[in-house]
Each structure stands twice: as C-alpha cells, then as structure tokens.
Amino acid sequence: MAGPVASGSRALLLRPLRSWAFRVLRRDGPGSPASCPGSQGAQRWAWPRDKDRENEKEKKSVVCVEGNIASGKTTCLEFFSNSTDIEVLTEPVPKWRNVRGHNPLGLMYQDACRWGLTLQTYVQLTMLDQHTRPQTLPVRLMERSIYSARYVFVENLYRSGKMPEVDYVVLSEWFDWIVRNIDVSIDLIVYLRTTPETCYQRLKMRCREEEKVIPLEYLDAIHHLYEEWLIKGSLFPVAAPVLGVAGPEPHCTFSW
C-alpha cells in the first residue's frame, strides 16, 4: 500500500475521475469521444455510441489507474471501495506471490533474466481475467491493465537486457492475439505521475518482502516508459484518453 495521503489531497486527486464517471454515465454514454476530453490517439472503445438510447442506463465504463510502483494506486482505489456504483479491482498481486506454493514475483526480482518470462506470462493471464470477468456495476475501476503489463513491464525487461528477444517476441505475439480477438477495451486511463524518488521513499516504508531489492534505477526506468507511452505517445498506442494526475501530494494538478 502506498504511504499516507491527506484526505483533502485525496479528494482533490479523485474529484476529476468521479466527475468524468458521472458525466459518461448520465449524459454522453461510455466510449463517447464527446465525454472524454483529450481523446486523440484512442484506439478502441468498449462501447460505440449507443444504437438504442433506451439501453443507455445499462452501459458500463472501465477505468484503469496506471502508475509506477508505489505511486499511490492502492490509495486511489481504496477511496472508491465503498461506492455503490463503482466496482474496484485491485492488481492481483497475491496470485503473483503464490501460484500453487510458488512465488514468481519474488523469483523475478531475484533473477529477472531467469524468471521474467515466467512472471509476465502469469501477469498477462491474470490481467486478462480482470478485463474479461462479468461487470455488474456501472463503473469498473482497475489497478493497472493488460496494456501496461506489456507496454511498460515487459518492455522494460527487454530494453534492460534481462529478457531474451525470443521471450519478448512470444509474449508480444500472445498480447497482440488477445487484443485482436478478445474485448479488453477501456474508456479512461488515470495516470498517477509520481516521481521515482517519491515512489522509492514510499517503497521503503511498505512491507512487501519482494520489493526490498528494488533499486531507484528500476523505478526510474518504469517511470520513463510510462511517460513515453501515456504522455509523449511515442512508445505504443494509447487505448483510451488519459487523465494525468501530476505532482506529489498535497499539491496535485490535473491535465487531459
């Protein structure tokens, strides 16, 4: 879990997200470009403009909260955990730490060259499960996505020389097939733009055993990949409009 955040700052951080959700649900409908400022570059929408306005209330939206390790994602999702109209799906870290008695997350941090493919294959599977499970509430709020698993974490392993090209190609082929054949589309990405230094300090305060070996350089590499993907748009296609939340607490600013 991320470090403590003042309640006032947390409300400020999340006000634009709740405002977006209500606007989408009650006026334009999920997936409508008119409801999502900054929609340039979006590739797919979970729902096209409704062919039958009578079913407007039945539509649902998917929002992914993205960001570095210890950027504040858990705190963000917890704020909405008691909402009656928002379904919160946290990252399935417990599964990554215990697969029939094995801990691929811990193994990857100990030896990324050996275990990177093993972990990322399972991450891709578990995130696919998150995307495709039946949605019962109007808004689904997910911690990260199958997109960041591929575009940030797999990409970092490959760029850092810790994943052989054959492993990278196989994972990429699996990801490309999923995106082409299964509906994993999303409506909004909320990007928590926290500095690597702030993430590193928070990381040292929380108690995940596997994360004790993470150096600042790793967080810096993840940060730059997120920036390339979601801010500069120079890395990979962006699957939805991006709501950027920049700056450490308590002075948060927002940009589309």
pLDDT tier at 33 (50, 70, 90 boundaries)?
very low
Confirm whether 243 is domain-assigned: yes
Confirm whether 95 is domain-assigned: yes
Determine the average pLDDT of the residues in 198-207. 87
Contact (Cβ atoms closer than 8 angstroms) between residue 185 and residue 239:
yes
Confirm whether 52 is domain-assigned: no
Classify 191 as helix, strand or coil: strand
Determine the average pLDDT of the residues in 76-103. 93
Confirm whether 207 is domain-assigned: yes
Confirm whether 2 is domain-assigned: no
Confirm whether 188 is domain-assigned: yes
Return the amino acid letter for 148.
S
Confirm whether 40 is domain-assigned: no
Give pLDDT, residue 31: 38
Global pTM value: 0.78
Confirm whether 238 is domain-assigned: yes
Name all contacts of 33-42 with Cβ < 8 Å and 24+ positions apart: 36/187, 36/188, 36/240, 36/241, 37/241, 37/256, 38/241, 38/242, 38/243, 38/256, 39/240, 39/241, 41/233, 41/237, 41/238, 42/238, 42/239, 42/240, 42/241
Give pLDDT, residue 58: 57
Q: How many domains does the chain have?
A: 1
Q: Annotated catalytic sites, by residue?
A: 143
Give pLDDT, residue 245: 80
The range of the structural domain enclosing residue 75 comes to 7-24+61-255
Lowest mean pLDDT among 70-84, 105-119, 184-198: 70-84
State the CATH number of the domain containing residue 72: 3.40.50.300
133, pLDDT greater than 80: yes
Determine the average pLDDT of the residues in 157-186. 97
